[in-house]
Amino acid sequence: MLNACGETYESLKQYAETVDLDGLPTRTVNLEGLLLTKRTMRDKDVSDRFILERALETLRARQSGR
């Protein structure tokens, strides 16, 4: 992907991480990076954004011990 919602490979690089997918290391962006690519008014992006924001809230709450 060359450009997603104004984000580029370079701007998303800081959100890159490697995850294990059934023993296969796979490079991807984390939830924060993915959320940056969903800042449009498309119906699909609006619903994706809601889900991603809730997932990030849950992760942050767990990390802070709440």
The model's pLDDT over 4-19, given as tens digits with 9 standing for 90+, comes to 888 999 999 999 999 9
Give the contacts of 38 (CB within 8 A, at least 6 positions apart): 5, 45, 48, 49, 52
Q: Could you tell me if residue 53 is inside a domain?
A: yes
Residue 2 has pLDDT above 70, yes or no: no
Q: What share of residues in the chain are helix, strand, coil (percent, to 5)? A: 50, 20, 25
Which residue range forms the structural domain that includes residue 32?
9-63
Q: Could you tell me if residue 54 is inside a domain?
A: yes
When divided into structural domains, the chain yields a total of 1
Q: How far apart are CA 12 and CA 35, in angstroms?
A: 11
Q: Could you tell me if residue 44 is inside a domain?
A: yes
Using one digit for the tens of pLDDT, what is the confidence trace for 19-48?
Answer: 999 999 999 999 999 999 999 889 999 999
Q: Could you tell me if residue 50 is inside a domain?
A: yes
Q: Are 29 and 9 in contact (CB under 8 A)?
A: no
